[in-house]
Amino acid sequence: MANMPVSEMRLPPHLAHLLAARRLDTAKVSPPLPFLPPPPVAGLRPTPTSSNPRVRLSIQDVLSLPEVELMAVLDAGLPTARAAVAHVSEAACPPCQTALALLEERVRLGGGGRLATTLCGLDEALGGGIPVGKLTEVVGPSGIGKTQFCLKLALLGALPEYYGGLDGRVLYIDTESKFSSRRMIEIGQKSFPQVFRQEGLAQKMAGRILVTRPTSLTDFTKSLEQMKVTLLQHDVKLLIVDSMAALMSLENERATGFRQHPLRWTLSFLKSIAEFSRIPVVVTNQVRSQSNVDGYHFSFEVDKKDGNNCTGGFDSHLVAALGIQWAHAVTVRLVFESHSGHRFIKVAKSPMSPAVAFPFVVETSGVTLLSDEGIDVTGPEITSIRCQGKNVLAQ
């Protein structure tokens, strides 16, 4: 449900004036602000009113309040509170669409609004590329090519439309300090030589990519609170977070047991940004080991202890980090895995495609598919993440 001002809801005049007077502005905003005052009495929630200037609730919040609290917020009786819920729910509810209307809209938008990766087989499997308005996850072991893939996407976000790009700015949140301008320019020169030969165009594209490096989950959360404004002011067409798991790992080291609440908040906010701004949101994720190596939580932690990466002898079945809640929330999951000396991009989750894998290599031009013919993946291999081992996809 997109943001909807009260003035556009066509509510009865008395309800519209009542909600506006209480500073209840939109149908949906970012997650509730964290500075609500503590309850004065144990077990009793504070009652926000218009007299408290620090409390600013959305109509989404009001719809979730018990009737007694809603009456206090509106300073009205029970019939008025129930009428407000009924009218706002009806006005804010997204309209139904037929399958035919959705198909016609997708044709009109030229593929439904997607960012083509220029990897033909992968784009075909995804229905045209990375979807806009959705959360796409890129997950895999350390050193397998996730950041290389993101650098190419960043270029495509800044590339002019007549070359297949989005012709906009890109917000790249680099949590592990892996972003390399030099490597990105190299990928661009090899992938789009006709563009980078034009004088000044490479500098112009590089200037469109905004890079921020939060050092903690707190910094990341603060940047999220201002992100919607940044997206609008700078005409951002693509958001990349590389990687979310690294931030969560740092937070776990500082405060055990603090993980789930901030993760839920961040997940909700990223999804709302994708929906609100109608842009692709790509987030990389690390993996957890299911091997017998005790004490290792993420694959990059194995790297630090053993000095190895995915291709250097760490043989294990892996699972994506951040848990089941995160897995259910992403619309598309692309798994980067390696076995029998080959790397694969596996479409493990997508509403547009069955599970399929594509062999790839990382070259000077970035990630390149060895074949546009996907290999069907079935059974447990859909959800597993391989690092070396027997090439079951080739059987």
pLDDT in tens, 107-125: 665 555 789 999 999 999 9
Q: What is the pLDDT of residue 108?
A: 66
Give phi and psi for 46, each to the nearest 5: -70, 145
pLDDT, averaged across the chain: 76
Q: What is the pLDDT of residue 294?
A: 39
Q: Write the CA distances from 357 to 108, 336, 361, 369, 372, integer angstroms.
A: 29, 9, 13, 10, 10
Query: What value does the CA radius of gyration of the chain take, rounded to a whole number of Å?
Result: 23
- Residues 6+ away with beta carbon under 8 Å from 324: none
Q: What is the pLDDT of residue 29?
A: 40
Q: What is the pLDDT of residue 163?
A: 84
Q: What is the pLDDT of residue 25?
A: 53
pLDDT cut 90: percent of the chain above it: 27
Ranges in the chain, pLDDT < 70: 1-10, 20-64, 91-94, 105-112, 225, 228, 232, 249-262, 290-317, 388-395
Q: What is the pLDDT of residue 179?
A: 93
Q: What is the pLDDT of residue 314?
A: 43
pTM of the model: 0.69
| CA-based torsion, 62, 65, 70, 72: positive or negative | negative
Q: Closest Cα partner for 282 from 244, 321, 241, 323?
A: 241
Q: What is the pLDDT of residue 5?
A: 58
Q: What is the pLDDT of residue 130?
A: 95
